[in-house]
Structure 1
Amino acid sequence: MHHLNRPLRTATVALTSAVLGAGVLTAAPASAEPSPALRSARALANTDSTPSTIAAQWLAGELTNGLMTGPYGPDFGLTIDTGMALSTVAGQGSTVTAINNALEPRIGEYVGDGTKESYAGALAKAAAFARTAKRNPTSYGGINLITRLEERTADVPADPAAQPQAAAFAGRIFDKSEFGNYANVVGQSYAVRALTLANSTEAGAARDFLLKQQCPSGWFRLNFAKADVPNQSCTEGVAGSEADPDATSLAVINLVESGDKSPAVQAALAKAGTWLAARQRGSGAIRGGAGTAEINTNSTAIGGYALGLLKKRDAALKAALWVRKNQPVDKYKCRTALTKDTGAVAYRKDRVNGAKTSGIPADARDEWRRATSQAILGLQFAPASKDRLRIVSVRREARAGDRVQFRVYGLAPSESACMQVKGDFLRVTGKKSGEKIVRRLQLPTGNQRRVALVKTSDDVARTSLRVRN
């Protein structure tokens, strides 16, 4: 969840007014549309756009002047995650443009000044976002992100035999920083995507080095070996080569989005997909690695999204179902303190229970934003309902105080809804099977016709019956 969040840096970058204005006011509107890879994958499944749409609406509302801000100021990494997630959701093009317009003039604060400070993972991620936002990564905020990334990518030596160590880490990204080198496999995967899409001559070496970080069983590790170690490859059973599902999922996503169709990449994707699918639990959840070992929506969502892009439809649907369960929709008579944050996705289910009473705590808001930015991706594969939304009473009339059975049809799997009649209400959740839900509501006093409703985040159905005292 935090693989590309760098330690807080005190150094900021002064940009000239010319650079601040470069290309920002004239930016063409970004589009909010799935990439060709996502479009192709989603065509194989009957999906429900509601959960990703309401998550995107909530997340967009968390932006301040186009940026995600925390206690220490703008969080550029989370802002980029937000922009890339929103770009997959219809209707969010203007928000992606707003993010771009806020981010582009300040990109130097995220990627470094290019001389003393230059951060490879940030350069790669920024370049990937620039392309997503329909901007040019070779002149983004006055910076050539691709050239800078190439400078942070180790060259292939002219004579590999004479320089075996340089040959071993050819293509590997390195930070240039007085704060240390934090480049890792996640940043490497973004670098492969950015360099490949830019037709860089260094793309092949970067890709080959990324593929070395995949162990024979299919997973990718998170951290590189030290630069002076002869073996730069993932080695099962050796400290530092532990499986990391998040790194694996992001490697898959970025390799797919890079468009590299080479046999080596296709073989790596097949192995990674098999490993991720085997790691998925019966519930649909995917447990994270050492830093995210508890079951959570982030690891599950990006894992499900990766499996979806690999066209492993059933695994992607299962993951989306699990993520959707952590998206509370407590509206209408079922409202709680979370109602004003409808669409937000919790990192873990236990976070939902507490927030229903008191709302999202101020110091937890950042976690909900991070969880939701990645949940949007996994929710792209949420299965749709089998039927239109309906509620049916088994009786045409009843006595006041009776508990009458109602049947609800058309709830999507894991979709939250509120059943209600005057004086009584009940939260319900769509079954995995998509079949009808049967529940009872208590009828109020008074001789008159009463309306029973079932309401979801974006739909309502009703029925009525005669009530007699």
Structure 2
Amino acid sequence: MHHRIRPIRSAAVALSTVALGAGVLAAPPASADPTPALRAAKAAAPATDSTPSTIAAQWIAGELTNGLLVGKFGADLGLTIDTGMALSTVADQGATVTAINDALEPRIAEYIGDGKKEAYAGATAKAAAFARTAKKNPTSYGGRNLIAELEARTADATTTTGTPPVSTPNPLAGRISDTSEFGDFANVVGQSYAVRALALANSAEAGAARDFLLKQQCTSGYFRLDFDKAASVSQSCTEGVAGSEAAPDATALAVINLVESGDKTPAVQAALAKAGGWLVARQRGSGAIRSAGEGASINTNTTALGGYALGLLKNRDAALKAALWVRKNQPVDKYKCRTALTKDTGAVAYRKDRATDAKTTGIPADARDEWRRATSQAILGLQFAPASKDRLQIVAAKREARAGDSVQFSVFGLAPSESACLQVKGDFVRVKGKKSGDKIVRKLELPAGNQRRVALVKTSDDEARTSLRVRN
């Protein structure tokens, strides 16, 4: 059985370079190189289709302004980092990752604090993880030693009190915390990035950070989002207790960062197995994963993160299902099927209703941030979108027909959930690939005129055609 191989278009890099502006790409580009964990996961999966993640990457690269995503309140450095880490998994996006890094590194203090009066542990951890992703040294990033600063924000294993000094075990050992006049907002997501950054730096504090993260996993397998108060005796997730509610996004990110940390200890492997089982149990038959907390919904962010985590755990079926659901929310309405969203081909909607509305209005200016956030996470989940069974082709049921007849056409080679436009002069219909990958059958009405007409099926990056004689 042959799988259609999609070439990665050089337009991806061209688009990124133009959008980022002159002078940004002074440094040699980082390679957009999947991590060993992602390479191993994809090797264990069925053949995947690079198209949905590629066109999503192209779209969000075009949203960058001089290497940064800029919102209503200025540059959004956190979302920019998320985008850079997602783009690092997509072929031919190395130049964009480098451009993001070159824009971010000089401004890193705006994100992580000055390191003295203001020092944000979770942001420092995520920045350190991104620095490594961008092939930079996190110990000398923007003039800062992110690892040393993160270690300073990670609680030591013991505390020393009294005279003479006496050392006692620290119940907060490994926990990250902020120094800030605004309060301590460190949480489990930041802790998971800290585990990844410290482990990859071979820090002496990596083990304690990992152990504290594992305490945030409840017996059912999920991770909660927030820590207990520092004065609390427990410091562990306790199912059924306020503050220990399930957090699907935090669970997925804990899995992703634990896998990327490279920690193979039995405790980590057991935690990953439990978290993976919980995510699978939460996944619906459609492939979607519902978020939690206030405003909980079925959405592409939670589904893509959960699917990517399950993919890294080599749960092929669950990752595939999630990717199919996310791909359904990536409108590709081009050619005769074009809509107001055509100029934003590749963008992923947070929810289906957002895509439906935007087909008429386009993406509203005040909703663009939501589409960017959805797309940056979707790139990850789409890594496990399955490929088509065959090459793209279209076959007409007749070789000859009369003008005005509705003729049946069969389309082969659409990847599951892939959008396409089936068209002939005067008529068109939107189609999506079946989960099974089997042929799609639709009818088109033939135009007037005694001549040979061409019927086409077009995807975002491919097309096939056939012809038939039309007589009045």
> TM-score per shorter chain, which class?
over 0.9
| Contact 1:28–1:134 (Cα < 8 Å) also in 2 | no
> Which residue does the alignment assign to 1:441?
444
Is the counterpart of residue 309 in structure 1 residue 312 in structure 2?
yes
Matches within 5 A, 1:351-362: 351-362=354-365
CA distance in 2, matches of 1:178, 1:118: 10
Q: Aligned with 2:330: secondary structure? A: coil
Name the aligned partner's letter for residue 416 of structure 2: P
> Which residue does the alignment assign to 1:247?
250
Q: Structure 2 length as normaliser, TM-score?
A: 0.93
Matches within 5 A, 1:52-451: 52-157=53-158, 167-291=170-294, 293-451=296-454
Cα drift, residue 135 of structure 1: 0.1
Deviations 1:380-416 (A, max 9, x none): 0000000100000010000000000000000000000
Name the aligned partner's letter for residue 97 of structure 1: T
CA distance in 2, matches of 1:353, 1:290: 25
| Contact 1:413–1:433 (Cα < 8 Å) also in 2 | yes
Cα drift, residue 26 of structure 1: 7.1
Name the aligned partner's letter for residue 116 of structure 1: K
Deviations 1:325-351 (A, max 9, x none): 000000000000000000000000000
Name the aligned partner's letter for residue 130 of structure 2: F
Name the aligned partner's letter for residue 285 of structure 1: A
**Root-mean-square deviation (CA), in Å?**
1.3
Cα drift, residue 169 of structure 1: 1.1
Name the aligned partner's letter for residue 152 of structure 1: R
> Which residue does the alignment assign to 1:31?
31
Q: Aligned with 2:350: secondary structure? A: coil
Q: Aligned with 2:287: secondary structure? A: coil
Change (3 A) 1:284 1:52: same
Deviations 1:175-210 (A, max 9, x none): 000011110000000000000001111100000000
Q: Percent identity, aligned pairs only? A: 80
Cα drift, residue 291 of structure 1: 4.1
CA distance in 1, matches of 2:244, 2:170: 20
CA distance in 1, matches of 2:173, 2:293: 27
Name the aligned partner's letter for residue 336 of structure 2: K
CA distance in 1, matches of 2:221, 2:279: 8
CA distance in 1, matches of 2:54, 2:25: 27
Cα drift, residue 25 of structure 1: 8.3
Q: Structure 1 length as normaliser, TM-score?
A: 0.93
| Contact 1:30–1:97 (Cα < 8 Å) also in 2 | yes
Name the aligned partner's letter for residue 220 of structure 2: S
Name the aligned partner's letter for residue 58 of structure 1: W
CA distance in 1, matches of 2:65, 2:160: 51
CA distance in 2, matches of 1:27, 1:83: 16
> Which residue does the alignment assign to 1:15?
none
Cα drift, residue 234 of structure 1: 0.2
CA distance in 1, matches of 2:205, 2:85: 24
CA distance in 1, matches of 2:152, 2:25: 29
Name the aligned partner's letter for residue 51 of structure 2: T
> Which residue does the alignment assign to 1:4?
none
Name the aligned partner's letter for residue 213 of structure 2: L
Name the aligned partner's letter for residue 95 of structure 1: T
CA distance in 1, matches of 2:209, 2:49: 37
| Contact 2:320–2:385 (Cα < 8 Å) also in 1 | yes
CA distance in 2, matches of 1:73, 1:275: 38
Q: Aligned with 1:268: secondary structure? A: helix
CA distance in 1, matches of 2:297, 2:81: 25
| Contact 2:25–2:95 (Cα < 8 Å) also in 1 | no
CA distance in 2, matches of 1:194, 1:232: 22
CA distance in 2, matches of 1:116, 1:25: 33
Cα drift, residue 158 of structure 1: 5.4
CA distance in 2, matches of 1:341, 1:57: 10
Name the aligned partner's letter for residue 35 of structure 1: T
Change (3 A) 1:158 1:228: closer
CA distance in 1, matches of 2:37, 2:259: 7
CA distance in 1, matches of 2:126, 2:160: 31
CA distance in 2, matches of 1:380, 1:25: 26
CA distance in 2, matches of 1:26, 1:463: 47
Change (3 A) 1:27 1:170: farther
CA distance in 2, matches of 1:301, 1:25: 30
Q: Aligned with 1:168: secondary structure? A: coil
Deviations 1:28-64 (A, max 9, x none): 4211011110011001221000000000000000000
| Contact 2:25–2:98 (Cα < 8 Å) also in 1 | no
Q: Aligned with 2:428: secondary structure? A: strand
Name the aligned partner's letter for residue 72 of structure 1: F
Cα drift, residue 271 of structure 1: 0.5
Cα drift, residue 216 of structure 1: 1.1
Change (3 A) 1:417 1:359: same
| Contact 2:248–2:291 (Cα < 8 Å) also in 1 | yes
CA distance in 2, matches of 1:29, 1:150: 29
CA distance in 2, matches of 1:398, 1:213: 67
Length, aligned pairs only: 444
Deviations 1:399-455 (A, max 9, x none): 000000000000000000000000000000000000000000000000000000000
Cα drift, residue 293 of structure 1: 1.4
| Contact 1:321–1:382 (Cα < 8 Å) also in 2 | yes
Is the counterpart of residue 457 in structure 1 residue 457 in structure 2?
no
Q: Which runs of 5+ in 1 are unaligned?
A: 1-23
> Which residue does the alignment assign to 2:40?
40
Name the aligned partner's letter for residue 412 of structure 1: A
Q: Which runs of 5+ in 2 are unaligned?
A: 1-23
